Structure 1
Amino acid sequence: MSAAGNKSSIPQQWQQSGWHWWWLVALLIVADQFSKWLILENMPLYSRINVLPFFDLVYVRNYGAAFSFLSDQSGWQRWFFTAIAVVISVVLIVMLRRQPKSMKAANLGFGLIVAGAIGNVIDRINYGYVVDFLDVYVGTYHWPAFNVADSCIVIGAGLIIFDGFFSNRPDK
């Protein structure tokens, strides 16, 4: 069959692997970066916009990792967390390439984690910090501010855990 007759330029083995979610990974990275751009362009640092009784938009900078872990360090953590995210993304992409398409929950979870990791790596490289802007709270208790990339990582991890408990794959 000629190249013009192919449905896609993606190799057949990739179409049958877990990496068939690549389009969602790309879309989520764009959504993450676009949402952060909107915040950077329209909100002063530390400003707050009340959206719902339990949800605000805020603009904060996270120089560390989850829950601002190591954010008070001298700057080495920027490259440390960038390297970790790149390594994890590469490992997950390789895993996605090797896993069958039928492992839907795990593959989607890995893809979401890759999208989130890359979204936050882009921030660390461009700004030296991650832009966080989603603030969920109950009364005076606030969950640490997060972003679309962080949401992808959490949902992805949840899907992988779900797959681990509820998949019907036979043991090898």
Structure 2
Amino acid sequence: MRYYILTLIIVFLDQLTKWTVTRSMDLYESIEVIPGFLSITSHRNSGAAWGILEGQMWLFYIVTVIVIGVLIYYMNLYKDSYPGLMIGFAFILGGAIGNFIDRILFQEVIDFIDVYIFNYDFPIFNIADSALTVGVVLFIVFMLIDEMKNKGKKFNG
């Protein structure tokens, strides 16, 4: 249950920040927060990461429903074990739901975090995108740690 609460917190923060941006900024308006590094820029994306598959909402609907279903299945399956994996799943689920809400309501995703890394203007993203990324990284780290533990058991007898 606590992992679903984490998911709800992520969805709430994602939707609150998107609501704040859409209510207080014009589209494409930008506010520099840290000069040369971070701006809040009101942006919309009708595709996936970096704008790929732009306008393919039906594909995003299908994939997101499948991903949400699979995540809920595995979260229920492993609910009493593997906390690292469960936290990763909660982040991925929260991110998927956050962007899914946008796609259903607006047929596009509201993005606003605009970061410059070594003079490279990284694609604008949002809290849901960040949660998805953190969740995938946690999932990979957990899987690598689990794999190392299992290899150690095989070699140690």
Contact conserved, 1:20 with 1:101, CA < 8 A, in 2? no
The Cα of 1:63 is off from its aligned counterpart by 0.4
Asked if residue 82 in structure 1 is aligned to residue 64 in structure 2, the reply is: no
Cα RMSD of the aligned pairs, angstroms, is: 1.6
Match of 1:7 in 2: none
The Cα of 1:101 is off from its aligned counterpart by 2.7
The Cα of 1:104 is off from its aligned counterpart by 1.2
Asked if residue 38 in structure 1 is aligned to residue 5 in structure 2, the reply is: no
Unaligned runs of 5+ in 1: 1-18
Q: Deviations over 1:48-101 (max 9, x none)?
A: 000002000001100000111022xxx4x1121122111101101101100143
TM (norm. structure 2) is 0.89
Contact conserved, 1:48 with 1:56, CA < 8 A, in 2? yes
Superposition map of 1:71-110 within 5 A: 71=54, 75=55, 77-110=56-89
Unaligned runs of 5+ in 2: none
Asked if residue 157 in structure 1 is aligned to residue 136 in structure 2, the reply is: yes
Superposition map of 1:53-64 within 5 A: 53=35, 54-64=37-47
Question: 1: distance between equivalents of 2:117 and 2:101?
Answer: 31
The Cα of 1:139 is off from its aligned counterpart by 5.1
Question: Which structure shows the higher helix fraction?
Answer: 2
Contact conserved, 1:110 with 1:160, CA < 8 A, in 2? yes
Percent identical: 37
- Size of the aligned set, in residue pairs, is 149
The Cα of 1:158 is off from its aligned counterpart by 0.1
